[in-house]
Amino acid sequence: MKLFCLQDTETWLRQVQEDLKKISLEITSTQEYETPREEMLALEDRNTRLATIKGQYELIDEALNSSLSKNLADENTKSVLKFIQAMTRLKKDEGFGRIVGTTYNGIKKELIDKFVLQTVGKAKISQDVKVPNALFFYGPPGTGKTTFAKSLAEQSCSHIDLVDAGRVSPEEALAQIKEKALTAKANYEKSGADKKRTFIVINEADSVALRGSDTSYDFIRFLQDCSEKYKCTLFLTTNAPLDIDPEILSDKVTPIKVALIPADKQTAISVLLLPNTMSFKTSNSLVVIGLLIFSQLEKNLSSIAIFLGIL
C-alpha cells in the first residue's frame, strides 16, 4: 500500500483527520431501508465502524501527548498516524472487509479495539506495551479460521506470512516458523520508526503443538519470547484444540482466543469456552454443540471436551 511521504507531523495529522472525517460522513449518511431488520443491521454496522474511528482518534491523542522526548515523540506520532492512515485506506475487500455480514461485528469490534489499536498501535508509542506471542483461533473445519486470522493480520496493517503446518512434518513446520521469524525481525528493523511487525498464520497448529510431543516442547520455548525477540506474533489455527499442549493455551502464551462455533440461525446454544475466548456464531445448517470442561492442574490448563455434530 502506497502512503504519501509527508514531512511533518501536522501534515500527517491533517491527512488522517480528513480520512476519518470522510469515512464518518459516509457511515452516517441517511439511507432508506426496505425492512426494519435491514435498518437494524445497518445501524449495528455503523456503530461498530464509528467505534473504530473513536478508538483511532484516542490513539492519535495518546501519541500526541506522549511523555517521551520531543523528537522521539514526534517520530512515534508519525508512526501512529501512518498506521491509522493505512487502516483507513484498506480496500473494502481487505482486512475485516473480507468477513461479510454483520454477524461478526461484535468480535471484529473487540479485536480492533483490544488488539489492533490498544496493543499493536500503542506498541508504536511505548515499549511498555507488550504484543502477545500468539493468538489462538479454534473451531470445527470450514468455519473460516484461517481467513479470519489473515483478515485480522491485514487489518493490523502489518506484514503477513503463512505456514501450512499440516502439509509437512512437524519438524519441517517448526523450521519454517523459525525461518519466517528471522525474516520478521529483519523486516521490523528495516521499517525503522514505523515499527512494522509481522503476523505469521499457522494453519493446523496442532501439528507442531501436539501435547507431549518433542516438537511441542521446542515450539513452547520458541513461543516464550517470539514477540519481543523476533517482533512477530503467531496466529495459531486448529480444528482440534484439545490436542494442543495445555501450556500453549495458557494466558501467558495466548492471551486472546477466538472460537468459531457454527450454529443454526434459530438455535440457541450455550457453550463453555477456553478462558478469555472471544466467540461468535456463523450461520449454516450444521449444529455443533461444544462442551469444554477445564481444570487447573499443577498450574497448567488441562482440558476435556466433547463435540457433537448434528446434521
CA distance 245 to 213: 9
Beta strand pairing call for 134-138 and 159-164: unpaired
Distances from the Cα of 207 to the Cα of 27, 29, 142, 167, 181, angstroms: 43, 48, 18, 9, 18
Sign of the Cα pseudo-torsion (115, 116, 120, 126, in order) = negative
C-alpha cell at 111: 479485536
C-alpha cell at 249: 493455551
The edge-to-edge listing of strands for the beta sheet with 198-203 is 159-164, 198-203, 232-238, 134-138, 256-263, 277-283
C-alpha cell at 75: 517520530
Q: Which residues of 45-62 are buried (b: 16+ CB within 10 A; e: fewer)?
A: ebebbeebbebbeebbeb
φ, ψ of residue 284 to 5 degrees: the values are -150, 180
Contact between residue 203 and residue 165 where contact means Cβ atoms under 8 Å apart:
yes
* pLDDT digits (tens), the chain, 311 positions: 333 333 455 666 667 777 777 777 776 666 777 787 777 777 777 777 777 777 777 777 777 665 444 455 567 777 888 888 788 778 878 888 887 766 667 788 888 888 998 899 888 888 888 999 999 998 888 878 888 889 999 988 889 999 999 999 999 999 999 999 999 999 999 998 888 999 999 999 999 999 989 899 999 999 999 999 999 999 999 998 889 999 998 888 899 998 876 544 323 333 335 555 654 444 332 222 332 322 232 233 333 333 333 22
- 3-state SS, residue 294: strand
